[in-house]
Structure 1
Amino acid sequence: MCLEYHFLHITIVALIKFKVGDYVRISKYKGTFEKGYTPIWSTKIFKIRKLQNTIPTIYLIEDTIRGQPILGEFYAQELQKTKNPNIYSYLVEKVLRRKGNKVLVKWLGLSSTENSWIDKSNIL
């Protein structure tokens, strides 16, 4: 989809790379001494909730798990569309506690507030 802006007699066309409802990952900041082979994209998946028709186009995103909007605005080069957005499959970083047939897990790429109790049978 293209947006056309007319200023005086000049037409500016801005390409929209993502649509509302697309699932994306955001780029992570790499430090000065961080390895080049480490991934630059977040493991967490976000959903585009709104476009701002500016030049360049600005995207507003929300958390897919909680549904809360993320503070800040993102340009297209800071986002990467996911091909298979299975938002409920995350990797387990480590098991924190065990209780009966339940385990408290820390998810890879998510904050400590996202820790959750799951059944042992759900862990591969």
Structure 2
Amino acid sequence: MKPCEVNAQTHLDAYTHIALFDKKHRFNVGDVVRIITNPVTYLLEDMKGKPILGGFYEQELQKVKYPDVYLVERVLRRKNDKVYVKWWGLNENSWIDKNNIV
């Protein structure tokens, strides 16, 4: 039956002749599916400008309240109003004012 032949009396008959088919699913139950996304990654560099190996996701980074505050691992020497400190996570030691240590 052609679509133009359908009227008020034959619409129920035409509905039964529609070829209904089940769409085949792309994946079956138990298939391993890998969903690829492109999340934003950040490439960082250290204080000397050398790139840090690898990329970091936004969730791995943390905004700091005081970006100029660094952790001191220990004080190595004292001389007048200066102290020689070993920084936490940095390779180089340096002299700083005694008043700058909290």
Aligned residue number for residue 54 of structure 2: 72
Give the length in aligned residue pairs: 67
Opposite residue 104 of structure 1, the aligned amino acid is: Y
The separation in 2 between residues aligned to 1:74 and 1:92, in whole angstroms, is 25
Aligned residue number for residue 103 of structure 1: 83
Structure 1 residues without counterparts, runs of 5 or longer? 1-53
Partner residue of 1:92 out of 60, 66, 72: 72
- Return structure 1 stretches of 4+ with deviation > 6 angstroms: none
Q: Secondary structure at the match of 1:62?
A: coil
**Higher RCO (CA < 8 A, seq sep 6+):** 1
Measured on the aligned residues, the alpha-carbon RMSD in Å equals 2.5
Is 1:81 equivalent to 2:49 in the alignment? no
Opposite residue 91 of structure 1, the aligned amino acid is: L
* TM-fit CA distance, 1:83: 4.5
* TM-score computed with the length of structure 1 as normaliser: 0.43
Q: Deviations over 1:24-48 (max 9, x none)?
A: xxxxxxxxxxxxxxxxxxxxxxxxx
Q: Larger C-alpha radius of gyration, 1 or 2?
A: 2
Higher share in helix: 2
Percentage identity across paired residues of the two chains:
56
Aligned residue number for residue 25 of structure 1: none
Aligned residue number for residue 120 of structure 1: 98
Show the 5 A alignment for 1:45-56. 55-56=38-39
* TM-fit CA distance, 1:120: 1.3
* TM-fit CA distance, 1:66: 2.5
The separation in 1 between residues aligned to 2:53 and 2:71, in whole angstroms, is 25
The separation in 2 between residues aligned to 1:81 and 1:121, in whole angstroms, is 28
Structure 2 residues without counterparts, runs of 5 or longer? 1-36
* TM-score computed with the length of structure 2 as normaliser: 0.50
* TM-fit CA distance, 1:68: 2.6
